[in-house]
């Protein structure tokens, strides 16, 4: 569906177009958030405490894997020509017996240390036993994993820039790593503004529930940040300024107070605090009045529009790539897929809409900047430029 051109005689449309022209392009805003911050410093942490953080240096093995010659099959460790006389049984973790003599066998379990002198493991399924006598034909494989077959000390297990997930942690422990170098996880303070916002209970007349804390917490966790500290701030400029000053985390997220209304104080407060503006409005709908600023002491401020869906769009546009950058993660590459459907486009920006997964993906339907119901049923958000037509490819933002 082609977009309907703005009517220059309509004061509402002409104001919107003018504001869009003075805003940052969506792709550029995403790029600024992802590429401007420097990763937080690295520190040495235990493997257990590194979960979710990003490696600041390659993870290297301390010991060999396997650490010793080990049986790869259940059966008999044998040496010399058969038949073989069974002299002992050896389970994983048991002390190793003395050297084997030709013509002997030791019953052995997978993972046990291979006795000195053993030439191969004869699997149970390839053997026959009568009392202490074992017969069988050895195959081409010895079924012995030699020390260092997988990893040797100093080998790189995982390169820098990779998140420490459970598999990385397990590989580190297996290779004898006790501590590793990881970037510090960014801290986040969430300031939820608005006299009408409540955090619990049934909203009364004119009240709304806080829908930002859960969304910001999920995005922070996904981006490797610490759980946000939440504060509610009334619509008073001095209170907002005080809370901004008191927040000691690397990132401060402010929901609401983002526009130019009587209760929107954030821009004036940041100007008084001497903040440097990196993004001040984005050419997108919803989510236009989002912003990214840097305080003189290096803390970052992300401004999210107060309407929940617009705020979600802004959090995915600015907050998530910012946190990834501070965490030390490489910039994410957004998937691009064909999208079908119809929607009202923006001639001078992008329209961001909920979409359902499919072949191709398709637009979920009408959505306002306030409602989250369409996004809740969707599989992602599609970023549609003004030139998009039905079936064209579009970038997809993953929902938290």
| pLDDT score, position 13 | 37
Provide the whole-model pTM. 0.84
Q: What is the pLDDT of residue 6?
A: 40
Phi, psi dihedrals of residue 214, rounded to the nearest 5°: -65, -40
Give every CB contact of residue 225 below 8 A, 6+ residues apart in sequence: 185, 186, 187, 188, 251, 323, 326, 327
Q: What is the pLDDT of residue 371?
A: 85
141 CB-contact burial (10 Å; exposed 0-12 / middle 13-18 / buried 19+): exposed
Q: Angle, nearest 10°, between helix axes 26-35 and 320-327?
A: 20
Query: What is the set of domains in the chain, with CATH numbers?
Result: 11-40+185-327 (3.40.980.10), 45-60+155-183 (3.90.105), 70-145 (2.170.190.11), 336-397 (no CATH)
Q: Which residues pair with 352 in a beta bridge?
A: 383
Residue 229 · residue 213 · CB < 8 Å = no
Question: Which tokens in the block code for residue 26?
Answer: 């969506």
Nearest to 313 by CA among 362, 381, 366: 381
The answer to whether the beta carbons of residues 16 and 344 sit under 8 Å apart is: no
Exposure string of 367-380, with b = 16+ CB inside 10 Å and e = fewer, is bebeebebbeebeb
Length of the chain: 400
Q: Judge whether 226 and 187 are in contact, CB under 8 Å.
A: yes
What is the DSSP track for 186-233?
PPEEEEEE-TTEESSS---TT-EE--HHHHHHHHHHHTTPPPPEEEEE
CB atoms within 10 A of CB 205: 5
**By three-state DSSP, how is residue 31 classified?**
helix
Q: What is the pLDDT of residues 85-116, one digit of tens each?
A: 999 999 999 888 889 999 999 999 999 999 99
Report d(CA 37, CA 244) in Å as an integer.
19
**Residues 197-245: pLDDT tens digits?**
888 888 899 888 889 999 999 999 999 999 999 999 998 999 999 999 9
By C-alpha distance, which of 86, 120, 116 is closest to 99? Answer: 116
**What pLDDT was estimated at residue 14?**
37
User: For residues 195 and 206, what is the distance between their CA atoms, to the nearest angstrom?
Assistant: 10
Q: What percent of the chain has pLDDT over 90?
A: 82
Q: pLDDT digits over 320-353, tens only? A: 999 999 999 988 899 999 999 999 999 999 999 9
Q: How buried is 212 (Cβ within 10 angstroms: 0-12 exposed, 13-18 middle, 19+ buried)? A: buried
Is residue 109 within 8 Å of 71, Cβ to Cβ?
yes
pLDDT of 367 reads 79
Spans in the chain with pLDDT lower than 70: 1-21
What DSSP designation does 364 have?
-
pLDDT value of residue 15 = 39
CA distance linking residue 309 with residue 369, whole number of Å: 5
Count helices and strands in the chain by DSSP H and E runs: 9, 27
- Look at residue 208 in the predicted model and tell me its pLDDT: 87
């Amino acid at each position: 569906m082609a977009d309907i051109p703005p009517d220059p005689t309509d004061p509402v449309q002409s104001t919107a177009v003018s504001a869009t022209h003075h805003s940052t392009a969506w792709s550029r805003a995403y790029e600024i958030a992802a590429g401007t911050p420097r990763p937080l410093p690295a520190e040495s942490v235990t493997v257990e405490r590194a979960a979710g953080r990003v490696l600041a240096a390659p993870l290297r093995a301390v010991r060999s894997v396997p650490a010793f010659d080990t049986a790869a099959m259940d059966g008999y460790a044998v040496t010399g020509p058969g038949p073989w006389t069974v002299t002992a049984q050896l389970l994983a973790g048991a002390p190793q017996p003395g050297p084997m003599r030709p013509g002997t066998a030791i019953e052995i379990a997978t993972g046990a240390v291979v006795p000195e002198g053993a030439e191969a493991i004869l699997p149970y399924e390839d053997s026959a036993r009568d009392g202490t006598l074992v017969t069988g034909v050895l195959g081409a494989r010895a079924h012995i994993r030699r020390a260092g077959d997988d990893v040797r000390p100093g080998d790189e297990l995982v390169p820098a820039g990779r998140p420490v997930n459970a598999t990385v942690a397990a590989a580190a422990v297996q290779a004898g790593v006790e501590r590793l170098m990881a970037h510090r996880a960014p801290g986040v303070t969430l300031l939820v503004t608005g006299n009408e916002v409540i955090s619990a209970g049934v909203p009364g007349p004119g009240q709304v529930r806080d829908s930002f804390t859960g969304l910001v917490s999920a995005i922070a966790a996904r981006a490797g940040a610490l759980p946000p500290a939440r504060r509610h701030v009334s619509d008073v400029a001095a209170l907002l300024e005080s809370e901004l000053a008191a927040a000691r985390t690397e990132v401060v997220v402010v929901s609401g107070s983002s526009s130019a209304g009587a209760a929107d104080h954030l821009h004036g407060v940041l100007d008084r605090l001497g903040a440097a503006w990196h993004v001040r409005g984005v050419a997108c709908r919803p989510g236009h009045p989002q912003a990214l600023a840097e305080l003189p002491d290096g803390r970052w401020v992300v401004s999210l529009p107060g309407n929940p869906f617009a705020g979600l769009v802004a959090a995915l546009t600015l907050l998530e790539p910012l946190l990834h950058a501070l965490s030390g993660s490489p910039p994410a590459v957004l998937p691009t897929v064909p999208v079908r459907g119809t929607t009202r486009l923006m001639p001078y920006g992008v329209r961001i809409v909920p979409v359902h997964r499919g072949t191709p993906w398709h637009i979920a339907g009408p959505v306002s900047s306030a409602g989250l119901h369409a996004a809740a049923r969707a599989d992602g958000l599609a970023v549609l430029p003004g030139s998009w037509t039905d079936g064209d490819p579009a970038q997809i933002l993953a929902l938290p």
